[in-house]
A and B are shown apart, each in its own frame.
Chain A
Amino acid sequence: MKNFSRDISLVLGGSAGMGIQTIEATLVSVLKREGYHVFASKEYMSRIRGGSNSTEIRITNKRRASFVKRIDFLFALDADVIPHLEKRITSKTIILGERQKVCRGTTVCQVIDVPFTQFANELGNPIYTSTVAVGIVLGMFRADEALFETYLRERFARKGNEIVEKNIEAGKKGYDFGKHIAYNEGIEVNLSQNKAVEKEILIDGNDALGLGILASGCNYISSYPMSPGTGILTFLAQHKKEFGIVIDQAEDEISAINHSIGAWYAGARAIVSTSGGGFDLMTEGVSLSGIIETPIVVHIGQRPGPATGLPTRTEQADLNLVLYAGHGEFPRAVFAPGTHEEAFFLAQQAFFIADKYQIPVFILTDQYFLDSIRSFPEESLQTLTPENHIIKTDADYKRYALTPDGISPRGVPGYGQGLVGIDSDEHDEDAHITESAEMRVLMHEKRLGKIKGIREEALLPTEIGDVHHAEMIVISWGSNKGVLEEALIHIDDERIAGVHFSQVYPLPENTKKLFAKKKVVVLENNASGQFANLLKLEYGIKISESILKYDGDPFFVEEVVKRFKTLIKDFEL
C-alpha cells in the first residue's frame, strides 16, 4: 500500500508543444477547487518545439511555496523524460506513461502503462489526451468528478457543445482509468481538503506582479521583449483597454527606458520590464533618471548570465547590477518579492517610492518566481492608494528648487503656468546647465540626501520563527522565501530562525540589531553571495556562511534542509 496523506509532488514531463502547460493549468485549477493547496513551478529549455521540459505540481495539506526534488508521481509523455529527470527519480517514484513510447530504447523501465494512443483513437483526436491525463490524476485522487465536469464545461464553453462533450468524455475515461490504477497499485491518497482554499485566487508570479503594477496606477510601458521579463509587457498589453495603458514595443532597450522616462516627465506612470541582458543596455537611462530626478520603475526578471547565459533558467545574480547600474552617484531603491502577495504589494510600493522621491526603482524577480503558480486568499492582497505627486505649477516654478528634504515638487508640461525643464547636465534650480562648483555641490547633496527618507520608509524584513532566541539566522531575499520557510519547518529546531528581505536596498536602519551575536547564514541563488556582500558592506554584518546555488535551478527544499543539518554540526549549535 502506497499512502499519501500530506504532501504530493506530481511532475509532468515532455517536450514543448505536447500540452504540458494545458495539463498543468487544468490540474491546478481543479485541485484548488477541490480544496487542496497547490504550488506549481516549471523548468524548460530555450526552444519553441521539442526539448525536455517539466512542471512540478505540489499538492499539499498545508500552504507550501517551494520546489522539492522528490517526485512521487511522474507523468512521462515521451522517451526523454526519464533520462532528463534521472537524478530526481527514485524507486518510490510512480511513473505513468505510454510504455511503448516512454520506454523506447531502455531495458529496465518500470512504468504504469497509460495507453494514450488508444484513448486518442477512441476519442477520435489526440488533442483530448491532455484532458485524459488530468482525469487520471483526479481519478487516482478520488476527486469530485462532478466538480471536474463543471470545470470542463466552463473551460471549453466558448468552443461549442461538441468540444465540451468530447472533453467530458475524455475526462471520464481518464478518471476511470486513474481509479483503476489506484486500485491495482494500491495507491491511496487521503490529503485533507480545506473548503477555504476553493475561494482563493490561483495565480502565477507574473500575473500577481502585473496586478500590482495595475494597482499602482501604471498606465505606460515601453519595453523590448526578453525572457522572462516579457510576461509583464504581455500582461499589460492584454489589459490595456480596461486600464487605458499605452503599450510601446520599443526598437531596443535604450529606447524603452528613455521613452518611459519621457512618459513620467509628461505625467504618466511608466514601467519597463526586461531581463539582465536587456537591462545592461538601459543603464544610461538609469543614470539619466538619477540626475533629472524623474522617476522610473524597472522590472528585471532574472535569469543566469553573463550575456545570454541560460535563457529560460533561474538565478538571483543581478542584484549587483541594479545596485550599481548607472555612473555617478544617486539614490535608488530595490524590491524583490518573495511571494505572490508580496509582488502585488511591492509593485505599488515601487511606484510610490519612485514617484515620491523621483528616483529609479527596481523590482527584481526571476524565472522561477514568475513562472510559479499558487493560491492564496484574496484578502492577502494589500492595496495602497495610488498617490500622484504631480503639482500644478506657478509662473515662477523651478523644477529643481532646493528644499530641506531634497524633494523638489514635480510639475509636468502643460499643467499650470510654469515651464518644466529637465537636464542631464548638472543644472541649477531652473534646470539650466551650470558648471558652478557651488551649485554642483548643492544639487548633488540635494539628490543624495533623499536616501534618508527612502531608508526611513524601507520595509522591514519578515521574521520566520523566533529570531530573538535563535543562535543561527538564515537570511533569504526575493524568491527564496518559500524554500526558507519550508526548510525551517522540516528542520524544526528553535536554534535556527529565518529573516526574509523583500526590500533589498536600502535596508531599514535597525537591520543590524536582528543579527547581533548570531551565526548569520545567507541563502541565495547566485555564486558570489551578492546579498551577503551587501550586508557586510552596508552594515558590517559578519556572515558565517552562504548557501549558494547557481546551476540554473531553484533550491530544492531537501538540499536546503541538508545544508541546515550540516551547519548545525559545523557551528556546534
Chain B
Amino acid sequence: MIDKKLYDMPKGTDMAWCPGCGNFPILNIVKMALSELDRAPQDVVICSGIGQAAKTPHYLRVNYFNGLHGRALPPAIAIKNVNPKLTVIAESGDGDTYGEGGNHFMHTIRRNPDITNIVHDNMIYGLTKGQASPMSEKGLKNPIQPDGVIVDQFNPLAVALSLDATFVARAFTGDILQTKEIIKAAILHKGYALIDVLQPCVVFNKQNTYQWFKEKGYYVDEAHDKTDKMKALELAFDLDRLALGIIYQREGKPSYETLVREGNEPMFERVLDTAALNTLIKSYK
C-alpha cells in the first residue's frame, strides 16, 4: 500500500474551498482509495474542468489536466488511449459534467473508456455564486430563478444506464468509508465508471444540506443484483429516496482504448515506420 501522505500537498497550500465544503471529504477519500489500490502518483492522472470541484487536482500530488469548463472527459479519454497504463480519473462538478459537458458525458459513456468519473454533485453552481445546476431541484430559488427552478432535474444515473454504462454508482460524502469502497471498485472496474457523489454546498445550497442527504439517502442492500439493469433503472428513477452504492455493474464490455489501439505501450515510445511511409509514397506512382 502506498503511503497516503505521498499524495499530500505541502502544508500551507492555499485552498479555495469554503470551510465545511463537501469537496474536502471527497479529496480525502480519493487519496485513501489511491493509496489502498497502490497507485503511484506518477501513474495517476486527474482530469477536471472548471468550478470548485474541478480544483481538486491542485490539492493532491498526482499528474493532472485541469482544462476547460465541461471538458474533463475528452482529454481523459485521450490520455487513456495514449497510455493505458495510467489510472485516469475525471473529477468535476455537476454543472461541469452534466451541463456544459453534457454531450461529452453522453458520448463518453458510449465509448466506454477505462476511466473513473467522479462527479461532485452539490446541486448548485458554487463558483459563480449559487445559480441553478442541471441537478438543482424544481422550485429551488436562486439569483437567476427567483421564483424557483422551473425545469426538471437531470438524471445522470438513468441517462448513464440507458446508454449502457457498465458501472453506475451514487455515493454520499457523509459516509467516507462506503464512498471510498465505491470509488475503489470504480477504479478497478474495466470500463467507464460513473460515481455521482452527493455533497452539500454549505454556502449556496440551503435546501440540499447534510441533513437532507442523510434523510433521503439509503444504501442498496447486500441482496441487490448489480447486473439487473431494469432494477437499476427503477432505483435511478426514484427521486424520493436516493439509492446509494453500486447501482449497476457489468463486466465484459470492451473498453475504448482496447478498441482504438493495440497493446498497452505508451504512444510516446512509438517511432515512425519510414519503410512503410516510403512504400506508401511509391504506391502513388
Interface residues of A (CB under 8 A from B): 199-203, 207, 211, 214-215, 217, 219-220, 222, 239, 242-244, 246-248, 250-252, 254-256, 258-263, 265-268, 270, 284-285, 288, 292, 378, 381, 386, 388, 390, 412-425, 431-433
Contact = CB atoms under 8 A, between A and B. Distances in A.
Interface of B: 16, 41-43, 45, 47, 50, 55, 57-58, 61-68, 71, 74-79, 81-83, 85-86, 103-104, 106-107, 260-262, 266-268, 270-273, 276-277, 280-282, 284-285
12 contacts: A258-B67, A262-B65, A262-B76, A265-B65, A266-B45, A386-B271, A413-B86, A421-B58, A422-B67, A431-B64, A432-B58, A433-B55
Given A251-B103, A415-B266, A420 B63 contact: yes
Contacts of B277: 211, 214-215, 243
A262 B78 contact: yes
Given A215-B277, A262-B75, A432-B58, 13 more contacts: A199-B285, A201-B284, A203-B284, A220-B267, A243-B272, A259-B77, A261-B67, A261-B78, A263-B81, A263-B267, A390-B268, A413-B86, A425-B66
A267 B266 contact: yes
Given A211-B277, A248-B260, A386-B272, A267 B82 contact: yes
B103 A259 contact: no
Nearest to A420: B63
A414 B273 contact: no
Given A242-B276, A248-B260, A260-B78, A266 B86 contact: yes
B104 A251 contact: yes
Dominant secondary structure at the A interface: mixed
Contact of A422 (B66, B77, B260, B276): B66
Contact of A378 (B16, B71, B83, B282): B282
Contacts of B106: 251
A72 B82 CA distance: 53
A420 B65 CA distance: 8
B272 A217 contact: yes
Contacts of B86: 266, 413-414
Contact of A254 (B42, B66, B71, B272): B71
Contacts of B66: 421-425, 433
Given A211-B281, A266-B83, A421-B63, A433 B68 contact: no
Contacts of B280: 211, 214, 239, 242
Given A215-B272, A258-B68, A267 B63 contact: no
A414 B75 CA distance: 16
Contact of B78 (A207, A220, A388, A415): A220
* Residue with the greatest number of chain B CB neighbours at <10 A, chosen from A200, A239, A415, A423: A423
Contacts of A246: 81-82, 260-261, 267
Contacts, number: 186
B82 A242 contact: no
Contacts of B63: 413-414, 419-421
A424 B65 CA distance: 9
B44 to A, nearest CB: 8
Given A262-B77, A423-B66, A424-B50, A244 B268 contact: no
Nearest to A418: B42
A285 B68 contact: yes
Contacts of B85: 414
Nearest to B106: A251
B38 to A, nearest CB: 15
Contacts of B271: 217, 386
Nearest to A244: B270
B62 A419 contact: yes
* Residue with the greatest number of chain B CB neighbours at <10 A, chosen from A202, A288, A413, A420: A413
Contact of B74 (A255, A378, A433): A255
A248 B103 contact: no
A255 B103 contact: yes
Contacts of A378: 281-282, 285
Contacts of B81: 220, 246, 248, 263, 266, 268
A261 B55 CA distance: 19
Given A267-B83, A268-B78, A424 B67 contact: yes
Contacts of B71: 254-255, 258
Given A251-B107, A252-B103, A242 B68 contact: no
Contacts of B50: 424
Contact of B268 (A201, A268, A419): A268
Contacts of A262: 47, 65, 67, 74-79, 82
A244 B262 contact: yes
Contacts of A266: 45, 78-79, 81-83, 86, 266-268
A222 B55 CA distance: 26
Nearest to A242: B276
* Residue with the greatest number of chain A CB neighbours at <10 A, chosen from B76, B271, B272: B272
Contacts of B57: 421
A390 B266 CA distance: 13
Contact of A259 (B45, B78, B261, B268): B78
A240 to B, nearest CB: 9
A251 B106 CA distance: 9
Nearest to B81: A246
B276 A414 contact: no
* Residue with the greatest number of chain B CB neighbours at <10 A, chosen from A207, A214, A386: A214
Contacts of B78: 220, 222, 248, 259-263, 265-266, 268, 270
A35 to B, nearest CB: 13
